[in-house]
Structure 1
Amino acid sequence: MPRVKSSSKRPGTQGKSGFVRIISGQWRGRKLPVQDVEGLRPTTDRVKETIFNWLAPHVRGSRCLDLFAGSGGLGLEALSRYAEQVTLVEMDRGAAEQIKKNLLTLGSSQGQVIQADAVSWLQGPATPFDLVFLDPPFRRELLPQVCDLLEARGWLAPDALIYLEREKEMQDLPLPGTWQCLKDKQAGQVCYQLYQREGNQA
């Protein structure tokens, strides 16, 4: 069986796949090119606006992880809203290089792009993040594994926020017992949720 890749995303719900738009913050309205990678699908502006409305009090000064970065849209949006540092992990070389170019275009030194398989990378040395974006490719069953690794290997700050985006038909997603669901919405065939880690539990 071929190795499952954990980088690219589902095709074309964005409508225009050639760019991502930053919707608020210091780079509001900027359009940035997206590498033409099979299956890559940036989070739609409507969903992204909802996510960052949820996160509005928490982004500034935070350390963020965009684990399946794809276009980099979520991580770049966090940087635009004054996150202290964003790590963007993307397996596809072309997509990772495009994110690096976009960071240069924006003049940002707070973004770090890592070309790596997300599951393998999470098994390395950990530094805790305040905010984690998880938007893996659909129908690859990656979320249970990466959620367990995030919790077990020390990637999450005590009260970290975790954003999940997944296919509607995914049922009974097992998550760490310390994660509490704060928000839960659906747009078409996509479910998106915000969790907070209750790190002070015994």
Structure 2
Amino acid sequence: MNKNKINIISGKFYKRKLLLDNYNNQMRPTTNFIRKILFNWLRYNIKNSICLDCFAGSGVLGIESLSHGAKKIIFIEKNYNTIKKLKKNIDLLKLKNVQIIYNDTLNWLMHFGKPQDIIFIDPPFFSSDIFLIEKLIFILEKYNWLKIGSYIYIEYYYLRKNILTPNILKLHKKKKKKIICNLYIR
């Protein structure tokens, strides 16, 4: 993978390249290998879904979702330079049905609540704190971001084996490599 670009792996935008934010050392876009696994897991659920990318970064998960037929993606990102690069990628691909929120994810999710079909949680490299992820999951539940059939994808470096989740979530799929990838369903 080129440090300044990342490819879309399949769907409508297959092989299109996204520019990465050179200013953000914490960014670690989801690899092609992991995205193939994730979108294979979601292949029957992604079409016409509304997706929320809690730590947008490069935007590759959300853009990959649109490439696979998602109806809408909401990106939340607090780094202004990263948002500028994300907007360039959205313009480059002429994407529609995209909303970009320039805010801290936890704060924003505590003030707005509309159930989403698929939620991506892949925090920046150095803030991959398991407690941040657990807090975010409980906020999603408390502030009505989840509905029956919502999927939550969580990616994090192997810090400990299990994430504490509300009882309403059920582990649907799991992949362990250098990172842990969990897909939960409500």
- Runs of 4+ in structure 1 off by over 4 angstroms are none
Unaligned runs of 5+ in 2: none
Match of 1:193 in 2: 182
Superposition map of 1:120-159 within 5 A:
120-137=107-124, 138-139=128-129, 141-159=131-149
Superposition map of 1:1-202 within 5 A:
15-36=1-22, 37-137=24-124, 138-139=128-129, 141-188=131-178, 190-197=179-186
- In 2, Cα distance between the equivalents of 1:144 and 1:130? 19
Please say if residues 132 and 161 of structure 1, whose CA atoms lie closer than 8 Å, have aligned partners that are also in contact. Answer: yes
Please say if residues 19 and 31 of structure 1, whose CA atoms lie closer than 8 Å, have aligned partners that are also in contact. Answer: yes
- The count of corresponding residues between Structure 1 and Structure 2 is 182
- What secondary structure sits across from 1:159 in the alignment? coil
- In 1, Cα distance between the equivalents of 2:115 and 2:181? 23
- In 2, Cα distance between the equivalents of 1:90 and 1:140? 19
Please say if residues 123 and 149 of structure 1, whose CA atoms lie closer than 8 Å, have aligned partners that are also in contact. Answer: yes
Match of 1:200 in 2: none
* 1:104-154 C-alpha deviation (Å, 9 max, x unpaired): 111111111111101101111211100000111323631011000001110
State the TM-score, normalized to the length of structure 2: 0.94
Q: Which amino acid aligns with 2:113?
A: A
State the TM-score, normalized to the length of structure 1: 0.87
Identity of matched residues, %: 33
* 1:60-102 C-alpha deviation (Å, 9 max, x unpaired): 1000001011110100000111100000111100111111111
Please say if residues 51 and 70 of structure 2, whose CA atoms lie closer than 8 Å, have aligned partners that are also in contact. Answer: yes
Q: CA deviation at 1:168?
A: 0.9
- In 2, Cα distance between the equivalents of 1:64 and 1:153? 16
- In 1, Cα distance between the equivalents of 2:55 and 2:137? 13
- In 2, Cα distance between the equivalents of 1:140 and 1:176? 15
- In 2, Cα distance between the equivalents of 1:134 and 1:113? 16
Please say if residues 21 and 31 of structure 1, whose CA atoms lie closer than 8 Å, have aligned partners that are also in contact. Answer: yes
* 1:141-198 C-alpha deviation (Å, 9 max, x unpaired): 310110000011101122101101112123442101010001111122x00011100x
